[in-house]
Amino acid sequence: MSRRIASLAILAAVALPLVVGCQFLVFKVCVKNETEYWLDEFAYKVESGPTYNPASLELIAPGDSGVVGGFSAGFYDFRAIFDISDEDVCEDTIEVLDVEIENTNLCITYEVQDIPGKGEGCTEEIYATLDYVI
């Protein structure tokens, strides 16, 4: 009987990781607000999904950051909405689409950058940088 239990234990130890695969790996997304504006809302959806989930993070102050967990491997769309009262900034909503989370955590950093060659009005934009981190 003990041989049979030992054989089943070895089989389970080998087969379980193969069956489970990457489906149970869970990843995080950190959000860094390196702008001078409040990040009012950060939301995500599965790539090309019909609507964004309710805000995962809210009210991230300039220079602060937040973390959202529970992501499995796959493609996602992210949306950040900033509280902007400055006419120089072109958009208050930034979407980053078709982002793959495969085997590491993700960090999205939002920063302001000048738009070269622009005259009056809209001369700055908020852009996102993606970094994959362990």
pLDDT at 67 over 80: yes
Task: List, in order of start, the domains of the chain with CATH numbers.
Answer: 22-133 (2.60.40)
What was the pLDDT predicted at 106? 96
pLDDT above 50: residue 58: yes
CA distances 50 to 70, 80, 100, 101, Å, are 20, 17, 18, 19
Mean per-residue pLDDT over the chain, rounded? 85
Tens digits of per-residue pLDDT, 89-120? Answer: 889 999 999 999 998 999 999 999 998 876 67
